[in-house]
Amino acid sequence: MALARQINEDNGCSERSIGFDIIVDLNPDGVTTLKKRTKFVLDNLLNLWENKTLSDVTFKCQGKNFAAHVNILSSSSPALYAMFLSDFKEKRERIVEITDFDPHIVENLLRYLYTGEIFRGNNRPTNIDVENLFVAADKYAIESLKEECEVHLSRNLTVDNMTRYLVLAHRHNSSKLTESTLDFMAENATTVFSRSRKTDWMEIMKSHPELAFQAMQRLVVGDRKKRAVKLKPLRKRVVNKWHVTSSEFD
């Protein structure tokens, strides 16, 4: 770093300005050192997870136990941080009972907090696994994991899971997955409203009419002329059901 100082005198007064030249070292040795340090930290965290060295909390799920470290979990999950900080049973007994997820989901959730990997090695997770991990990430406020699950689910949208994903995104406040699903439905409108998908669509209209309304708006706004004839019967049904005017679709 080089430092330059300039002094200007005017009418007996001194004005001083100090400038700095910042030199960033981008030589290969510096990059290599950073990679080595990063690997050193990650290897140690992985070692803690695999060997359970000095573990101080146990997660119990359907007969399986997973030992972990309070400090590491608390640093990545605000929900777990609050649990261990407050006067809950989990803090006193250092045992966390989990009944709403399968053991392999709990294991992968905990492992992610150590390694940043969703599933171990090259094992490709099923969409159902990622859906459950997405729900768990939302419950324990692990935003980075939730975002990774959102990306995976958005890339694996199909006509068979689109309505389920739309409801899933709504329940867990996922704007990214909601937008991806609505776009997918708009792009596949012919299939969405085909006779073979009638049951799925009627179910979402019954259980989540606000989501059905959003999907209708996206379709109408996205390509009104092309789909006007096909959507007319459904549009009439929506207007009658929700007592809205046709102008609200415009």
- Would you give per-residue pLDDT tens digits along the chain (250 residues)? 333 344 344 444 444 444 545 555 556 666 678 788 888 888 888 888 999 889 999 999 999 999 999 999 999 999 999 988 887 777 778 899 999 999 999 999 999 999 998 877 656 788 999 999 999 999 999 999 999 999 999 999 999 999 999 999 999 999 999 999 999 988 888 887 776 677 787 888 888 889 988 888 887 766 554 555 555 666 666 666 665 555 554 5
Q: Which two tokens stand for residue 107?
A: 């294991």
Q: Does domain 1-156 have CATH number 3.30.710.10?
A: yes
Q: Which two tokens stand for residue 102?
A: 């399968």
pTM attached to this predicted model? 0.73
Q: Which of 149, 152, 125 is nearest to 137 (CA)?
A: 149
> Tokens 């001083």 appear where?
16
Q: Which of 131, 132, 144 is nearest to 75 (CA)?
A: 144
All structural domains of the chain with their residue ranges: 1-156, 159-250
> Tokens 């990430």 appear where?
137
CB 79 within 8 Å of CB 141: yes
**Rounded to 5 degrees, what are φ and ψ at 89?**
-60, -35
SS3 sequence of 141-158: CCHHHHHHHHHHHHHCCC
Query: Please, how many CA atoms are within 13 Å of residue 130, restricted to the half-sphere of its CB?
Result: 23
